[in-house]
């Protein structure tokens, strides 16, 4: 079963395949996976460990990252370039030395590429979890949209894998260089198991969030690890995960895809404004 739409999707904005993928609640199931893969990169992990507030403000840090990602995914070309410049300004002063004594700078293209790559691979994983893997045409369309966002981030064409086959080869090779960094250790610890505070002013949503959080969050770390590629598990030094947790993620993805309010608030508001 594939996901072929009944009509062509837009190449940019909220109705693009990229916008639809990132703008739905089910993306939150694979977002932690992308973050864990990012900070397992030695240079990215060092930058986060030395320059981020993730130890004291983990959920707000994650929320800000997700919010900017959603804006990029829903942006038209002009807004995308503006958001990309803003992101580069935020990373301009992030540099230092990693745990092996190697210098790093957050603006190095290979680091921007790796972070960007984890989102694409996680989106493809999400469609598989839904039981609706993308067919070849959709995968090519999604890749074009991913390339466009990469250019908005300041990556040049020669720094981006030209097609999905090249991307897969690059991604698989990079997985073998991942490590059990300090941020990985933190994310695998007890901190992520405590649900963040729900949005105030929305009592029904808050009640649902608390109920959902009590059920899901004790299993969040194990579910995230279960969704990692085997190459990443080996490189980070983690044992194969219990398949029950990947089955849990699969069930949640299909359940969230079946509800009528599939889009997160930002995506829903963008859709509403476009439909007026």
pLDDT score recorded for residue 256: 83
Ranges of the chain whose pLDDT falls below 50: 1-8, 201-202, 267-276
Report pLDDT digits (tens) over 80-104. 999 999 999 999 999 999 999 999 9
Q: Token digits for 111?
A: 């680091």
pLDDT score recorded for residue 264: 62
Does residue 14 contact residue 271 with C-beta atoms inside 8 Å? yes
Does residue 268 contact residue 209 with C-beta atoms inside 8 Å? no
Report pLDDT digits (tens) over 192-226. 655 566 555 445 555 555 556 566 667 888 999 99
Which pTM does this prediction carry?
Answer: 0.86
Largest CA-CA distance found in the chain, in angstroms, rounded: 55
pLDDT score recorded for residue 274: 42
């Amino acid at each position: 079963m594939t996901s072929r739409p009944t009509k062509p999707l837009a190449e940019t904005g909220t109705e693009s395949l990229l916008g639809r993928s990132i703008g739905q609640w089910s993306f939150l199931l694979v977002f932690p996976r992308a973050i864990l893969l990012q900070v397992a990169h030695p240079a990215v992990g060092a930058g986060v460990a030395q320059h981020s507030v993730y130890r004291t403000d983990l959920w707000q840090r994650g929320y800000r990252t997700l919010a900017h990602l959603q804006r990029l995914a829903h942006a038209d070309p002009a807004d995308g370039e503006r958001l990309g410049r803003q992101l580069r300004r935020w990373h301009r002063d992030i540099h230092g030395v990693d745990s092996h004594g190697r210098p790093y700078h957050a603006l190095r293209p290979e680091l921007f590429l790796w972070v960007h790559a984890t989102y694409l691979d996680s989106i493809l994983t999400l469609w598989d979890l839904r039981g609706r893997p993308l067919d070849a045409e959709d995968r090519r369309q999604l890749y074009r949209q991913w390339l466009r966002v990469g250019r908005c981030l300041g990556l040049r064409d020669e720094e981006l894998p030209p097609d999905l086959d090249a991307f897969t080869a690059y991604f698989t090779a990079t997985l073998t260089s991942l490590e059990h960094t300090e941020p990985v250790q933190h994310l695998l610890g007890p901190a992520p198991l405590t649900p963040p505070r729900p949005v105030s002013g929305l009592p029904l949503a808050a009640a649902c969030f608390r109920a959902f959080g009590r059920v899901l969050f004790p299993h969040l770390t194990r579910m995230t690890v279960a969704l990692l590629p085997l190459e990443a598990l080996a490189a980070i030094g983690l044992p194969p995960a219990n398949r029950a947790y990947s089955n849990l993620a699969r069930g949640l993805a299909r359940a969230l895809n079946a509800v009528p309010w599939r889009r997160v608030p930002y995506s829903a508001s963008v859709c509403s404004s476009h439909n007026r």
